[in-house]
């Protein structure tokens, strides 16, 4: 979609901010001549997903190991922009359901 914008084949594209910022830092030619027009409402980042059978202890251990890797590999932090891996629950994503309800109330009930 970014290429289409650069080539004049599209007028607008939705690109997540992490990807756009990454490209601006490491492949600036990919975003050259483009600008952010507007931003969507804030929302939680995408979750890390694992198999259903993982125990709470295993999940905690995975999170601990990921955070240790971030401490040990500061260049990864700088590249990915991830400062820490935090615990999450479905409640953390309630804001997305609230956005969906607000859209339906505003007349956009079929969001998929």
Instruction: Give yes or no: residues 107 and 52 share one domain.
Output: yes
Instruction: Give yes or no: residues 35 and 49 share one domain.
Output: no
Instruction: Give yes or no: residues 51 and 105 share one domain.
Output: yes
DSSP summary character for residue 41: P
The pLDDT of residue 103 is 86
The pLDDT of residue 100 is 86
Give the whole-angstrom CA distance, residue 37 versus residue 20: 13
Instruction: Give yes or no: residues 77 and 64 share one domain.
Output: yes
- Range of 51's domain? 45-111
The pLDDT of residue 93 is 86
List of the chain residues with pLDDT < 50: none
Domain count, the chain: 2
Instruction: Give yes or no: residues 33 and 60 share one domain.
Output: no
End-to-end alpha carbon distance in the chain: 20
């Amino acid at each position: 979609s970014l290429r289409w914008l650069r080539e004049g084949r599209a007028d607008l594209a939705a690109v997540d901010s992490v990807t756009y910022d990454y490209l601006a830092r490491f492949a600036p030619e990919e975003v050259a001549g483009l600008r952010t027009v507007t931003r969507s409402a804030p929302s939680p980042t995408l979750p890390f997903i694992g198999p259903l059978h993982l125990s709470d202890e295993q999940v905690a251990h995975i999170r601990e190991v990921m955070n240790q890797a971030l401490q040990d590999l500061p260049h990864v932090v700088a590249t990915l922009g991830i400062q820490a891996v935090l615990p999450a629950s479905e409640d953390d994503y309630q804001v997305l359901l609230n956005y969906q309800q607000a859209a339906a109330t505003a007349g956009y009930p079929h969001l998929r």
